[in-house]
């Protein structure tokens, strides 16, 4: 058994789903997307699974909705953080001119 092939964090799927919903997968660089994923995933608890089908059948809809809301909040917070950190060096340059 290879753990990295057999087990994964279900929140990874939800974060990627959220990035696609926002259209960021076509607008932003792979590095930006990776940073958003890392920042967002560090804000939610891990939920390890072996098979996606397990979550589809055994996860109550109310819990799925809560997980999606948590991911939306975490992704929004990560995007805001990255966007603020990208503009700060430019603001410093503008202030110097």
pLDDT mean over 4-8: 78
Ordered by start, the domain boundaries in the chain are 6-85
pLDDT digits (tens, 9 = 90+) for 25-59: 999 999 999 999 999 999 999 999 988 888 878 88
What's the pLDDT at 4?
Answer: 62
pLDDT score for 97: 47
Query: Mean pLDDT, the chain, as a whole number?
Result: 88
Q: Smallest Cα–Cα separation from 27: which of 68, 36, 48?
A: 36
Average pLDDT over residues 60-84: 96
């Amino acid at each position: 058994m290879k753990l990295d092939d057999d087990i994964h964090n279900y929140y990874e799927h939800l974060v990627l789903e959220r990035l696609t919903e926002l259209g960021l997968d076509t607008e932003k660089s792979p590095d930006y997307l990776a940073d958003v994923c890392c920042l967002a995933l560090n804000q939610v608890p891990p939920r390890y699974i072996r098979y996606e089908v397990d979550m589809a059948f055994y996860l109550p809809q109310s819990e799925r909705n809560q997980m999606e809301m948590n991911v939306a909040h975490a992704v929004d917070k990560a995007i805001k953080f990255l966007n603020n950190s990208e503009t700060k060096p430019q603001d410093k340059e503008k202030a110097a001119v």
